């Protein structure tokens, strides 16, 4: 290991470097807080610097005050501070440390000059020079070499700053600095920051000093030069730069008072008195204390410097973040510009493509049009050429044949002429010759003549053959003509199809144009339509919802109206007089001009006590009175509201009461009676309510109560009076169930005709066994209506009972006997029970006994009469005088019923068990 002598660098350069303030790492202004912190730190540093300086001065003064006291050099016996050095500059040891003393003075002068220039030099706590001194036990050579390094540490490191260029050899002290000049990691950044921090008021030399003084950069190997130097000179090892940029100054080996050597008088070389020693010792102690204080202040300054350094590093980080963000921002701006240019390019390309497409479309269209035109032209040309060829060929053939015919005709004519000439010549010769020769030649001549005639015939036939051939040729010509006509037809067809194709082509073109031009408008229109359709659907949905709500409200209001009208209503109907009926009763309708509600009957005449005939008039008032002219449709209008109530979930009972022949069956069961009309209305209403979410199940049954037994009018006729029909009641559900009864699902209005037909047939079959069966029994048409609304969650269960009661006849009037008597008794009993039940319902209190069980009729109608139902009674009136007494009885009974008030009806909401419909 070789040690080199540390040479001072260029003094001028060093001075310039130390005086030149280093620019801050960033020109960006610091935040106020940071500024103030840095300002405070700087002020504190400055104040401490001044203190330090004043301390130095005081130390100097102290040295001066002590005076030139001769003192035995003690080596390491006491710390060699600058003061000490300065104070002992005039001692006899001066020669040993002239350079140091001089440099220290130069430094002080330099600081003062800086101060004068407004630059506050910052004195880091210098490493006590003692630490650079050679230990006592060091080898002599080392001592000599290290002693040759006897320069203040600050100056030594200032040298390294002034020569920042790298020198690889450890033999050159200047190789220290490259470690700091080439930062490779955060530690080196921290080093740079340290430099930046020090520029606030210090020279760079001080910064270099601190680094070299530490001798070690965190994360770096110690400088190869400093390693042995520090090891041997016992320099303190550096704390990590991040934690402490400034090395902790090494304290003097000991601050405890030592045994001082006696001070000698410089001139007399005599020992000074003890009190000097004591005073000097006391002052040195004070000095040591003061020095410790100074070191504490320096530590604080170091902390402030650390703070400033951290803030500056934070500023640097923020600056770097800002720089990065600016870079990112620039990149984004560049991207945006690129994207915009791309967008513009794409837009232009799109425009170009669109234009090209339009050009191509136009080209294609032109090309197509040209092709079509070419095709048409070619086709026309071909057609014309074919026609011309055909005509030429025909003309040629015709001419050929005509020529041939002419030629043949000429040939034959010439031959004939020759033959004739020859014959004539021969004949003339023969005649001449024969004339001369006699008569025998005449025969020969004749035969020859015959032969010639035969030849002529042959020739004639040949002519005929030629003529036939001519005819054939003409026929062939005709065929050719026909062929030509056919070809012309084909040509016409081809032309027509060509025109059709042209028209189709044109239409296609127009369609293409339309599609191309209006596709956007069409899609827009389609979207509009779709939107409007959606709106319409939504409006329809809203309307449906509103309708459902309206329906619910209507039901409620409707039934309130029905309740206001009363739950048992009575109407009267007077049938017309038949043509064969005589002596009508006097029945009048006082309020006939409006909705008639009154009927007046002129009673039978009675003889008064004076023997005069007295006639009483009886007036009755009901909910409605129908006269003889009234039709079933008019009557149904009044009861249709009750039928509607059955659909709404109420039990409804409509029955016709009256004497035989008064028109009960006509009103109830005729073809346009209440039963067909009611079922038709229910079916229609159920259909209408489907769009409001209601689904109805309608089951119809037809029961006959004859002689206090139930019969199923929809069962087989042979089972009538045999099959036992049972009626069961569910008290809890207030429902009536029929056993052994056929129920027919009313899935159409025509079903009711079938039901009525079946019932009528069964009654007719029964009538053969017992006369007037239909008049002697009660018939009850029961229609169970179960409706559910899945949308609103509502459910209704109602029953419509349409009852055609047996004729009410007084027993004494009927004069019946036997079976008829029993029938009449049963009828009267059931009718009487019906009256009792109505009476009980009207008069009794709630919970009182109602005698439903007293008759089969009232038992069957138990839950359709009374508070839980709506009841309508038709009292049917015969217009005949003969039936007057029965009429008055019926009207009185009806009046009694009319005056009865039955409690409020309740809607049926409970579930009914449904009987199985019959196939």
Distance CA 38, CA 309 (A): 9
Task: Work out which of 170, 213, 297, 807 binds ligand ATP, going by CB under 6 A.
Answer: 807
575 belongs to the binding site for ligand ATP (CB under 6 A)? yes
At its nearest, how many Å lie between ligand ATP and the CB of residue 650?
27
Phi-psi region of 611 (alpha: psi -120 to 50; beta: other; left: phi over 0): left
Nearest CB to ligand ATP, comparing residues 84 and 663: 663
Name the nearest CA neighbour of 686 among 646, 732, 650: 646
Region near ligand ATP per CB under 6 A, out of 302-310, 563-571, 655-663, 909-917:
655-663
Query: What's phi and psi for 781, nearest 5 deg?
Result: -95, 120
Contact string (CB under 6 A) for ligand ATP, positions 869-888, x = contact = -------x------------
Which residue in the set 154, 548, 664, 898 belongs to the binding site for ligand ATP (CB under 6 A)? 664
Please identify, using beta-carbon distances, which residue of 199 and 662 lies nearer to ligand ATP: 662
Q: Is 709 annotated as a binding residue?
A: no
Q: Which is nearer to ligand ATP, 188 or 703 (CB)?
A: 703
Residue at token pair 């200032």: 158
Q: Which of 662, 801, 864, 868 binds ligand ATP (CB under 6 A)?
A: 662
Q: Identify the H or E element spanning 795.
A: strand 794-804
Distance linking the first and last C-alpha atoms of the chain: 126
Binding mask 609-648 for ligand ATP (x = CB under 6 A): ----------------------------------------
Does 662 belong to an annotated binding site? yes
Q: Kindly state whether residue 777 participates in binding ligand ATP, applying the rule CB under 6 A.
A: no
Q: Which stretch binds ligand ATP (CB under 6 A): 51-59, 142-150, 354-362, 660-668?
A: 660-668
Contacts for 743 with CB less than 8 Å, ≥ 6 apart: 699, 700, 701, 714, 784, 915, 916, 917, 918
In the complex with ligand ATP, which residue's Cβ is closer, 260 or 881?
A: 881
Residue from 121, 658, 693, 866 in contact with ligand ATP (CB under 6 A): 658
In the complex with ligand ATP, the residue whose CB is nearer, 34 or 894, is 894
Based on the shown chain and the rule CB under 6 A, indicate whether residue 55 belongs to the binding site for ligand ATP. no
Min CB(662)–ligand ATP separation in Å: 4
Among 152, 249, 663, 700, binds ligand ATP (CB under 6 A): 663
778 in contact with ligand ATP (CB under 6 A)? no
Candidate segments 407-415, 461-469, 662-670, 751-759, binder of ligand ATP by CB under 6 A: 662-670
- On whether 665 is known to bind a ligand per the annotation, the reply is yes
Binding-site residue total for ligand ATP (CB under 6 A)? Answer: 14
The two tokens of residue 756 are 């009525």
* Burial per residue of 467-499, b for 16 or more beta-carbon CB atoms within 10 angstroms, e otherwise: eeebeebeeeeeebeeebeebeeebeeeeeebe
> Is 661 a binder of ligand ATP (CB under 6 A)?
yes
Decide: helix, strand or coil at residue 782. Answer: strand
Q: Of 83, 774, 824, 887, which one interacts with ligand ATP (CB under 6 A)?
A: 774
User: Given the rule CB under 6 A, which of 126-134, 520-528, 658-666, 709-717 is the region that contacts ligand ATP?
Assistant: 658-666
Q: Which of 18, 246, 309, 665 binds ligand ATP (CB under 6 A)?
A: 665
Give 784 or 883: the residue with its C-beta nearer to ligand ATP.
883
Nearer residue to ligand ATP within complex by CB, 17 or 657: 657
Catalogue the long-range contacts made by 212-215 (C-beta closer than 8 Å, 24 or more residues apart).
212/156, 212/157, 212/160, 212/176, 212/177, 213/127, 213/153, 213/157, 213/238, 213/247, 214/238, 214/239, 214/241, 214/247
- 3-class SS of residue 374: helix
CB of 610 to ligand ATP, least distance (A): 39
> Which tokens in the block code for residue 392?
């030429």
What SS3 class is residue 312? helix
Question: What are 626's strand-pairing partners?
Answer: 573
576 binds ligand ATP (CB under 6 A): yes
Q: How far is the CB of 904 from ligand ATP (least distance, A)?
A: 32
Q: How far is CA 149 from the centre of its chain?
A: 87
Q: Give the up-direction half-sphere exposure of residue 676: CA atoms within 13 A in the CB hemisphere.
A: 17
Q: Is 64 annotated as a binding residue?
A: no
When the beta carbons of 45 and 855 are compared against ligand ATP, the nearer one is 855
698 sits in which H/E element: strand 694-706
Closest contact distance (angstroms) between CB of 869 and ligand ATP is 24
Measured from the CB atom, the residue of 52 and 775 that comes closer to ligand ATP is 775
Q: Which residue, 394 or 638, has its beta carbon nearer to ligand ATP?
A: 638
611 is in an annotated binding site: no
Question: What's the CA gap between 422 and 432, in Å, rounded?
Answer: 14
Cβ-based nearer residue to ligand ATP, 88 or 575: 575
33 is in an annotated binding site: no
The three state secondary structure string of 578-630 is CCCCCCECCEECCCCCCCCCEEEEEEEEEECCCCCEEEEEEEEECCEEECCCC
Q: How far is CA 396 from the centre of its chain?
A: 83
Burial of 900-910, coded b for 16+ CB within 10 Å and e otherwise, reads bebeebebbee
Q: Please, which residue, 225 or 666, has the CB nearer to ligand ATP?
A: 666
Pair 880, 577: CB distance under 8 Å: yes
Flag whether 291 is marked binding: no
Q: Is the CB of residue 58 less than 8 Å from the CB of residue 81?
A: no
- Site membership for ligand ATP, residue 316 (CB under 6 A): no
Which tokens go with 147? 């002693």
C-alpha–C-alpha distance, residues 83 and 60, integer Å: 6
How near is the Cβ of 723 to ligand ATP at its closest, in Å?
23
- Part of the chain binding ligand ATP (CB under 6 A), chosen from 227-235, 254-262, 322-330, 657-665: 657-665
Q: How far is the CB of 916 from ligand ATP (least distance, A)?
A: 32
Our CA angle for 573, 575, 577, nearest 5°, is 155
- Quick one: which of 775, 858, 862, 871 contacts ligand ATP (CB under 6 A)? 775
Please say which residue, 193 or 878, places its beta carbon nearer to ligand ATP.
Answer: 878
The full length of the chain comes to 919
With beta carbons less than 8 A apart as the criterion, state whether 682 and 646 touch.
yes
Contact window for ligand ATP (CB under 6 A) among 6-14, 489-497, 558-566, 664-672: 664-672
663 is in an annotated binding site: yes
Q: Phi-psi region for residue 248, left (φ > 0), alpha (ψ -120 to 50) or beta?
A: beta
* Cβ nearer to ligand ATP, comparing 807 with 866: 807
**Given the structure tokens 């504190």, which residue do they identify?**
44
Q: Of these, 622, 666, 694, 852, which contacts ligand ATP (CB under 6 A)?
A: 666
Quick one: which of 100, 313, 562, 660 contacts ligand ATP (CB under 6 A)? 660
Least distance in Å: CB of 553 to ligand ATP?
A: 37
Helices (H), 790-862: 811-814, 818-843, 856-860
- Which residue ranges make up the annotated binding site? 658-665
Instruction: Please state the residue numbers annotated as binding site for ATP.
Output: 658-665
Q: For binding to ligand ATP (CB under 6 A), which residues are involved?
A: 575-576, 658, 660-666, 774-775, 807, 876
């Amino acid at each position: 290991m070789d040690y080199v002598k540390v040479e001072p660098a260029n003094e001028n350069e060093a001075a310039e470097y130390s005086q030149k303030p280093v620019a801050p790492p960033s020109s960006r202004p610091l935040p106020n807080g940071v500024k103030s912190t840095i300002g405070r730190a700087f002020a504190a540093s400055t104040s401490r610097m001044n203190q330090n300086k004043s301390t130095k001065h005081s130390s100097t003064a102290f040295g001066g005050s002590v005076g030139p006291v001769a003192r035995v050099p003690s080596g390491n016996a006491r710390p060699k501070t600058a003061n000490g050095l300065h104070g002992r500059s005039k001692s006899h040891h001066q020669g040993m440390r002239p350079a140091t003393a001089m440099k220290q003075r130069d430094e002080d002068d330099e600081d003062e000059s800086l101060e004068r220039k407004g630059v506050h030099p910052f004195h880091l706590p210098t490493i006590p020079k003692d630490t650079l001194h050679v230990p006592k036990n060091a080898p002599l050579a080392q001592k000599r070499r290290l002693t040759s390094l006897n320069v203040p540490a600050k100056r030594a490191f200032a040298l390294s700053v002034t020569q920042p260029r790298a020198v690889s050899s450890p033999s050159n002290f200047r190789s220290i600095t490259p470690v700091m000049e080439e930062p490779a990691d955060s530690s080196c950044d921290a080093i740079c920051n340290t430099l930046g921090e020090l520029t606030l008021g210090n020279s760079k030399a001080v910064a270099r000093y601190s680094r070299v003084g530490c001798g070690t950069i965190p994360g770096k190997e110690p400088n190869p030069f400093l390693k042995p130097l520090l090891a041997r000179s016992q320099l303190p090892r550096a704390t990590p730069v991040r934690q402490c940029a400034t090395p902790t100054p090494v304290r003097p080996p000991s601050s405890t008072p030592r045994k001082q050597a006696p001070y000698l008088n410089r001139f007399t070389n005599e020992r000074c008195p003890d009190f000097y020693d004591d005073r000097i010792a006391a002052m040195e102690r004070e000095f040591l204390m003061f020095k410790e204080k100074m070191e504490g202040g320096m530590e604080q300054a170091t902390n402030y410097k650390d703070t400033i350094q951290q803030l500056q590093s934070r500023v640097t980080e923020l600056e770097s973040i800002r720089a990065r963000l600016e870079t990112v921002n620039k990149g984004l701006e560049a991207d945006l510009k690129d994207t915009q240019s791309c967008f513009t390019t794409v837009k232009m390309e799109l425009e170009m493509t669109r234009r090209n497409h339009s050009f191509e479309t136009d080209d294609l269209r032109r090309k197509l049009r040209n092709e079509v035109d070419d095709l048409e032209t070619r086709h026309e040309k071909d057609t014309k050429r074919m026609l011309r060829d055909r005509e030429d060929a025909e003309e040629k053939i015709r001419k050929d044949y005509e020529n041939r015919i002419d030629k043949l005709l000429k040939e034959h004519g010439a031959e004939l002429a020759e033959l004739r000439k020859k014959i004539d010549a021969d004949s003339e010769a023969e005649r001449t010759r024969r004339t001369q020769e006699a008569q025998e030649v005449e025969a020969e001549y004749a035969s020859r003549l015959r032969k010639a005639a035969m030849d002529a015939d042959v020739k004639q036939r040949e002519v005929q053959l030629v003529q036939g051939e001519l005819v054939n040729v003409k026929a062939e010509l005709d065929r050719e003509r026909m062929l030509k006509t056919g070809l012309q037809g084909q040509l016409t067809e081809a032309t027509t199809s060509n025109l059709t194709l042209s028209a189709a082509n044109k239409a296609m073109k127009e369609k293409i144009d339309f599609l191309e031009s209006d596709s956007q408008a069409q899609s827009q229109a389609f979207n509009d339509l779709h939107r409007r359709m959606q709106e319409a659907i939504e409006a329809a949905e809203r309307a449906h919802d509103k309708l459902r709500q309206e329906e619910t409200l209507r039901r409620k209001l409707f039934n309130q109206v029905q309740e206001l009208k009363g739950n048992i209503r009575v109407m009267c109907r007077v049938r017309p007089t038949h043509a064969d009926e005589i002596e009508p009763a006097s029945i009048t309708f006082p309020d006939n001009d409006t909705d008639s509600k009154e009927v007046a009957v002129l009673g039978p005449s009675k003889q008064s006590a004076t023997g005069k005939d007295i006639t009483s008039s009886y007036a009755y008032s009901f909910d409605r009175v129908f006269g003889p002219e009234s039709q079933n449709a008019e009557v149904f209008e009044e009861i249709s509201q009750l039928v509607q109530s059955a659909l709404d979930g109420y039990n409804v009972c409509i029955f016709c009461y009256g004497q035989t022949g008064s028109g009960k069956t006509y009103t109830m069961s005729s073809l346009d009676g209440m039963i067909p009309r009611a079922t038709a209305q229910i079916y229609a209403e159920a259909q209408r309510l489907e769009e409001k979410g209601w689904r109805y199940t309608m089951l119809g049954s037809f029961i006959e109560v004859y002689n206090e037994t139930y019969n199923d009018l929809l069962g087989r006729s042979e089972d009538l009076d045999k099959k036992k029909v049972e009626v069961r009641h569910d008290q809890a559900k207030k429902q009536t169930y029929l056993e052994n009864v056929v129920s027919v699902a009313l899935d159409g209005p025509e079903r009711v005709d079938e039901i009525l037909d079946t019932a009528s047939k069964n009654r007719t079959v029964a009538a053969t066994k017992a006369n007037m069966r239909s008049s002697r029994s009660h018939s009850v048409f029961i229609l169970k209506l179960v409706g559910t609304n899945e949308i609103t969650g509502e459910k209704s269960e109602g029953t419509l009972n349409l009852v055609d009661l047996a004729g009410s006849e007084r027993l004494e009037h009927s004069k019946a006997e036997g079976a008829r008597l029993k029938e009449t008794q049963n009828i009267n009993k059931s009718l009487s029970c019906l009256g009792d039940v109505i009476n009980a319902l009207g008069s009794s209190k709630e919970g009182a006994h109602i005698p439903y069980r007293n008759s089969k009729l009232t038992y069957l109608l138990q839950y359709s009469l009374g508070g839980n139902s709506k009841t309508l009674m038709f009292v049917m009136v015969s217009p005949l005088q003969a039936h007057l007494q029965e009429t008055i009885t019926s009207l009185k009974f009806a009046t009694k019923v009319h005056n009865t008030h039955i409690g409020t009806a309740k809607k049926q909401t409970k579930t009914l068990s449904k009987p199985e419909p019959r196939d």
